[in-house]
């Protein structure tokens, strides 16, 4: 039921109904699968839709909190779980568009409504009537005869309210709400600043000399990027990872590599309106105050209290296990790179913009492997088919393209997802290409979460975003092996949303603890490396010949190559993140000064660098999801490496019994089970760190 369908109860409701009659966001979404009415929606529709849906949500929350009936799970917790559905739908669409297809008009609305949404969230979670009912139920939860999922839902809602300030005093609540509103403004600005810097940079290759060393697939992608940008002076290198990384890997022009590298690492660090230095500093300062209001010494302590890790010491212990071995491995790699440079007549020390270039040369010599020979076997369409095929073999899923169903951009493909019993499971939207107005990186989001606590079951609508450099018209889009791994990673997140099988939306899909959420994505990456998957799907885009066995063997042999470099870059970012959020002083230092000092303290090599500098670290500062949490990829890698060993031990990557446990306890359970218990139910025991260390080549294969 939409807002326009409901009987008005107040004067405000009358006004909202009048607004709803002309706003497609507030009408019933009579579209295929209940998708948003993409073609009808305009930026100006969102602000009134947010106001109307927030008002509706508050009416629902007031009705729960003001009830004179004794609190029960159904009239309080389940009712709260069902509340705000239209606000969720509007927000899901809005933030999907601002990430994937934004515009100045949408960004203006985002700047306006972000603090309003934060204030709304604070109002809901500080509603004393609702919290009193939840708190009462929480105290008596063991005696209420609830199912295990209901107990988990009650506990999660109770914690949501507590962590949002429900137990603070009145003046503290007022200050807390102001902090959250200001943080919403700042995180919105941070993400918009990074996007502005990424969109502004264009390295035009004006002549053949500028293209020296570039394989045809890089030149083709650069020509397409120029076409997309309306540049006529020559092919263009942008800051899209799928374009700049190959450029840094192959370009013989050291001066251009340095120029591109400096632009890449300098995003968010320019004087002017897009400068993120003070934005990030203020975010850290406000998060510090937020944590202190909760009685924690630092934001890291506050954030980690609701994770599997629980404490900074647990995170540090994990990161320390890889830091020094990765430094030692990177030192060995540097020697090989320097020797290669000397053989080319280059006597200069290896710099950060040289590493990928000489690493590729070493890889070609050691393994007879180069990206230009690999990419023809990894066309995008084949890799999508591979991901779908693995999902079918593991979980019985079918992805049926719906070419006549339009999404928010022509690049986006819509699929109906069905199970082995031919019943609908959900809807999947695949958005794979980089373009103007789309933020960098790769991510999964949900336009609608799965649940079945209302009048009818709700099926999920899941979106996967990648940023691959599109091939020229009529030509295949070719992926590197790393790109294909990213596709499988995000598809693993997508399966986590699609296979959700819970009653209550609060614990559906990816709404798990942060250091568990990467397990479903990272474990799915393993299937890409399976020879039977590669032989079936990695086929030459021109000849349709399957990838040769010898090339598969070389890919596997090279898997540990350059792992010191990659591990150091990731771990440096995770350690700097944790250090920044572990600050206990009220005042936060200049973030660049802090970053340099922390890297120096760690002994981080300058020629290796880090995955994300603080000035453009969107995981941390374009939202709070990964703040004091970038470590989670390594934490989940412990789980995924050990977890995939269950298939190895069973004798096959598609063993049906192990796949059934994987679906039941990892992909379908959402947050209805405590994550440690979920992993143990899948694996039969606690995880061990050895498989992760072996996977990264940081210990011997027999260790």
Q: What does the radius of gyration of the chain's CA atoms come to, in whole angstroms?
A: 25
Average pLDDT across the chain, whole number = 94
Its pTM stands at 0.94
Comparison of pLDDT for 5 and 540, the residue scoring more:
540
Tell me how crowded residue 353 is: count the other CB atoms within 10 A of its CB.
22
The confidence score (pLDDT) of residue 9 equals 44
**For residue 438, which of 701, 228, 681 has the smallest C-alpha distance?**
228
Backbone angles phi, psi at 546, to 5 degrees: -70, 155
Residue 244 is encoded by which pair of tokens?
A: 């700049």
* pLDDT > 60? residue 1: no
Pairing of strands 413-418, 424-433: antiparallel
pLDDT class of 473 with cuts at 50, 70, 90: confident
Chain Cα centroid distance, residue 500: 18
Place of tokens 């930026």: 43
pLDDT tens, 81-129?
999 999 999 999 999 999 999 999 999 999 999 999 999 999 999 999 9
CA distances from 483 to 241, 386, 432, 669 (A): 9, 14, 11, 29
Pairing of strands 236-237, 398-401: unpaired
The confidence score (pLDDT) of residue 701 equals 54
CATH number of 277-369+562-630: 1.10.1370.10
* pLDDT > 50? residue 3: no
CA distances from 414 to 378, 398, 490, 494, 554 (A): 22, 13, 16, 13, 36
pLDDT tens, 60-84?
999 999 999 999 999 999 999 999 9
Cβ atoms of residues 23 and 47 within 8 Å? no
d(CA 1, CA 343): 71
pLDDT tens, 24-33?
999 999 999 9
Mean pLDDT of 425-432: 98
Measured in Å, how far apart are the chain's first and last C-alpha atoms? Answer: 58
Say what percent of the chain tops pLDDT 90. 92
* pLDDT > 90? residue 586: no
Domain coordinates in residue numbering, the chain: 3-125+127-163, 201-265, 277-369+562-630, 376-512+523-557
Domains 3-125+127-163 and 277-369+562-630 belong to one CATH topology: yes
The confidence score (pLDDT) of residue 12 equals 47
- Give the chain's largest Cα–Cα span: 83
Cβ atoms of residues 595 and 613 within 8 Å? yes
CATH number of 376-512+523-557: 1.10.1370.40
* pLDDT > 60? residue 10: no
**For residue 100, which of 409, 472, 496, 384 has the smallest C-alpha distance?**
409
The full DSSP string for 206-226 is: -SGGGGTT--HHHHHHHHHHH
State whether CATH 1.10.10.10 applies to domain 3-125+127-163.
no
* Torsion sign across C-alpha atoms 199, 203, 208, 213: negative
Place of tokens 């295990």: 148
The confidence score (pLDDT) of residue 699 equals 76
Beta bridge pairs of residue 443: 465
Residue 192 is encoded by which pair of tokens?
A: 């918009």
Mean pLDDT of 347-366: 95
**For residue 275, which of 387, 209, 382, 196 has the smallest C-alpha distance?**
196
Residues belonging to the active site = 490
pLDDT tens, 301-317?
999 999 999 999 999 99
pLDDT tens, 193-244?
999 999 999 999 999 999 999 999 999 999 999 999 999 999 999 999 999 9
* pLDDT > 70? residue 5: no
| Residues whose CB falls within 8 Å of the CB of residue 253, separated by 6 or more in sequence, listed in order | 209, 210, 212, 213
**For residue 406, which of 397, 414, 416 has the smallest C-alpha distance?**
414
């Amino acid at each position: 039921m939409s807002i326009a369908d409901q009987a008005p109860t107040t004067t405000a409701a009358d006004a909202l109904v009048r607004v709803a009659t002309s706003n497609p966001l507030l009408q019933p979404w009579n579209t295929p699968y209940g998708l948003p009415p993409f073609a009808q929606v305009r930026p100006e529709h969102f602000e009134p839709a947010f106001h109307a849906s927030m008002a509706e949500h508050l009416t629902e929350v007031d009705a729960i909190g003001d009830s004179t009936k004794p609190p029960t799970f159904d009239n309080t917790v389940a009712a709260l779980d069902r509340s705000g559905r239209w606000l969720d739908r509007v927000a899901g669409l809005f933030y999907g568009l601002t990430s994937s297809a934004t515009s100045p008009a949408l960004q203006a609305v985002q700047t306006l409504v972000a603090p309003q949404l934060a204030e709304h969230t604070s109002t809901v979670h500080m509603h004393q009537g609702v919290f009193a009912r939840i708190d009462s139920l929480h105290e008596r939860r063991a005696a209420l005869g609830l199912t295990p999922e209901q107990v988990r839902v009650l506990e999660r809602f109770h914690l949501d309210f507590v962590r949002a300030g429900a137990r603070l005093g009145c003046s503290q609540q007022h200050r807390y709400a102001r902090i959250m509103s200001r943080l919403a403004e700042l995180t919105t600005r941070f993400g918009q600043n990074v996007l502005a810097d990424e969109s502004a940079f264009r390295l035009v290759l004006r002549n053949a000399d500028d293209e020296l060393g570039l394989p045809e697939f890089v030149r083709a992608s650069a020509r397409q990027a120029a076409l997309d940008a309306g540049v006529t002076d020559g092919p263009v290198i942008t800051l899209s990872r799928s374009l700049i990384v190959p450029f840094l890997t192959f370009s013989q022009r050291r001066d251009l590599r340095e120029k591109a590298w400096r632009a890449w690492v300098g995003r968010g660090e320019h004087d002017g309106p897009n400068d993120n230095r003070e934005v990030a500093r203020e975010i850290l300062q406000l998060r510090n105050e937020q944590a202190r209001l909760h009685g924690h010494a630092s934001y890291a302590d506050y954030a980690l209290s609701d994770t599997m890790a629980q404490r900074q010491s647990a995170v540090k212990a994990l990161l320390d296990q890889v830091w020094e071995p990765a430094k030692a491995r990177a030192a060995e790699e540097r020697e090989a790179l320097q020797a290669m440079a000397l053989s080319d007549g280059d006597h200069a020390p290896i710099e950060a913009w040289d590493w990928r270039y000489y690493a590729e040369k070493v890889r070609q010599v050691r393994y007879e492997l180069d990206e230009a020979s690999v990419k023809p076997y990894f066309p995008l369409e084949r890799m999508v088919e591979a991901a779908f095929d693995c999902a079918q073999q593991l979980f019985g899923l079918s992805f049926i393209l719906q070419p006549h169903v339009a999404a928010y951009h022509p690049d986006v493909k819509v699929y109906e997802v069905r199970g082995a019993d031919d019943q609908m499971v959900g809807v999947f939207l695949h958005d794979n290409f980089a373009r103007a107005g789309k933020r960098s990186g790769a991510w999964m989001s949900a336009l609608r979460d799965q649940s079945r606590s209302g009048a009818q079951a709700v099926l999920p609508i899941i979106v996967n975003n990648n940023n691959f450099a599109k091939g020229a018209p009529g030509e295949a889009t070719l992926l590197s092996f790393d790109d294909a791994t990213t596709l499988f990673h995000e598809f693993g997140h997508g399966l986590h949303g699609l296979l959700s099988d819970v009653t209550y939306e609060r614990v559906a899909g990816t709404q798990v603890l942060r250091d568990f959420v990467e397990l479903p994505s990272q474990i799915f990456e393993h299937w890409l490396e399976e020879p039977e998957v590669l032989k079936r799907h990695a086929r030459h885009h021109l000849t349709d010949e399957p990838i040769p066995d010898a090339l598969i063997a070389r890919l596997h042999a090279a898997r540990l190559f350059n792992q010191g470099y990659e591990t150091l870059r990731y771990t440096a970012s995770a350690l700097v993140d944790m250090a920044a959020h572990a600050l206990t002083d009220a005042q936060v230092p200049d973030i660049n000064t802090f970053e340099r000092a922390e890297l120096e303290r760690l002994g981080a090599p300058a020629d290796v660098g880090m995955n994300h500098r603080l000035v453009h670290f969107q995981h941390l500062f374009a939202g709070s999801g990964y703040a004091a949490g970038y470590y989670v990829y390594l934490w989940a890698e412990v789980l995924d490496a050990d977890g995939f060993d269950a298939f190895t031990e069973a004798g096959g990557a598609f063993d049906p019994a192990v796949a059934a446990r994987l679906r039941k306890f990892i992909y379908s359970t959402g947050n209805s089970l405590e994550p440690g218990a979920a992993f143990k139910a899948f694996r039969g025991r606690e995880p061990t760190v050895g498989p992760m260390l072996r996977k990264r080549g940081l210990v011997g294969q027999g260790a």
